[in-house]
Amino acid sequence: MGQKSIPRSLRRTRNHWERLASIDPFWAILTDPNKKNGGWDKDAFFQSGVETVDDEISRLCARFDDVGRSRVLDFGCGVGRLSLGLSRHFDHVTGVDISARMIDLAGDFNCHPEKVEYVHSPCSDLRLFGNDHFDLVFSLITLQHMNRRHACRYLAEFVRVTKPGGYILFQMPSRRLPEKSFRLRWRRRILRSIEWVNRKLLVDRRPHFEMHMVSESTIRQVLTGAGATVIDATRNSGSGERYLSMGYLARKEGGGRS
């Protein structure tokens, strides 16, 4: 795909994650402040993915006995932290990421190549996959790093590539929480303004974490319009203490499931 066919804002996001993948990929994915600069132990990093997936899938399957176990999509797979956890529950896992470097690293760490594949997709959609393909689309701490327009488009794509009656499980912050003090609130506003100006003027080319929010009402509207029913929207800690983060579970309409 040519560079010009990728929206500029998405190219910027991709470029940031390519740099982050080269600098400190584990910490870029799971930003524990004590693990920066190569502080993550590889086994502990991937074990954290296993634990996260086991918790999410066990709760999903305890509630619904019709969860298909054939194919799952891990959107924003990075180096495969969650993909390898998903391989314990599904016959085939496809991890997709905007960063080619992350996909290369995921391939290096792939200890289940017979079940897990990784695909580089810099597109603003999921055109690499056909309609009604996956039993589950799974995405945590990914959509928050792209602007609202792209996040909403991907949500509609999640529905398209999910089988009728299949599930979509993801996380997204809905709003920024109030700062604890007036001084801190204004300090953060000033810093965000400086960062925004530097990026616009191309003064600061360092990779950074963009954080974007989409309201619950907008997410419900997008999913409903694409043909899915929102089952749950519950608060979680996926975006850190400064944001109200929501975990969503939706099911694609059709498939004869009640």
Query: Is residue 230 domain-resident?
Result: yes
Largest CA distance in the chain: 55
Lowest-confidence region among 2-16, 44-58, 93-107: 2-16
CA angle (243, 144, 169) in 5-degree steps = 100
Q: Determine the residue type at 256.
A: G
Consecutive H or E run containing 139: strand 134-139
Judged by DSSP in three states, 86 sits in helix
Query: Is residue 22 domain-resident?
Result: yes
Query: Is residue 203 domain-resident?
Result: no
Judged by DSSP in three states, 166 sits in strand
Lowest-confidence region among 18-22, 117-121, 192-196, 242-246: 192-196
Token pair, residue 51, equals: 């634990």
| Cβ-count burial 52-72 (b if 16+ within 10 Å, e if not) | bbeebbeebeeeeeebbeebb
The residues near 214 (Cβ < 8 Å, ≥ 6 apart) are 143, 148, 151, 152, 172, 173, 174
CATH number where 141 lies: 3.40.50.150
Query: Is residue 31 domain-resident?
Result: yes
List the beta bridge partners of residue 235.
Answer: 246
Q: What is the pLDDT of residues 61-112, one digit of tens each?
A: 999 999 999 999 999 999 999 999 999 999 999 999 999 999 999 999 999 9
Query: Is residue 136 domain-resident?
Result: yes
3-state helix, strand, coil in the chain (%, to 5): 45, 20, 35
Q: What is the pLDDT of residues 170-216, one digit of tens each?
A: 999 998 888 665 455 656 566 556 555 555 555 445 555 788 999 99
Q: Determine the residue type at 71.
A: R
Query: Is residue 206 domain-resident?
Result: no
Query: Is residue 76 domain-resident?
Result: yes
Token pair, residue 225, equals: 């319009």
Among candidate residues 155, 169, 171, 138, the one with its CA nearest the CA of residue 71: 138
In the chain, what percentage of residues exceed pLDDT 90? Answer: 71
Q: Determine the residue type at 164.
A: P
Query: Is residue 187 domain-resident?
Result: no
Domain count for the chain, please give it.
1
Domain that holds residue 25: 3-178+213-252
